[in-house]
Amino acid sequence: MTTAVAPSASALTAADRCDRCGAQAYLRVELQSGGELLFCAHHAREHADALREVAVTVVDETHKLSSKPAAAPDTDR
């Protein structure tokens, strides 16, 4: 299994949803059979061992979850 962003794969967006629970997807798995699966970070971790066995490529954008959002402007003044 290759864990990298495939050059031809587009970035995941908020519209991409986990195939297990419907949460925002942060992992796209291209399968050996030609299909693809999308997972939230939770389900990607839960199914990681099985995914390694069937994945051709993996687009992992879970790093976006640890990014600090920009500070909101202080409007209380």
**pLDDT tens, residue by residue, 36-76:** 999 999 999 999 999 999 999 999 999 999 866 666 666 66
Q: How far is CA 73 from the centre of its chain?
A: 30
Strands 55-60 and 36-39: unpaired
Residue bearing the bigger pLDDT, 72 or 31: 31
Q: What is the pTM of this model?
A: 0.73
Res. 1 pLDDT band, cuts 50 70 90: very low
Alpha helices in the chain (DSSP H): 41-46, 48-54
Q: What is the CA radius of gyration of the chain?
A: 15
Q: Which residues lie closer than 8 Å to 28 by C-beta, 6 or more apart?
A: 9, 12, 16, 36, 37, 38, 58, 59
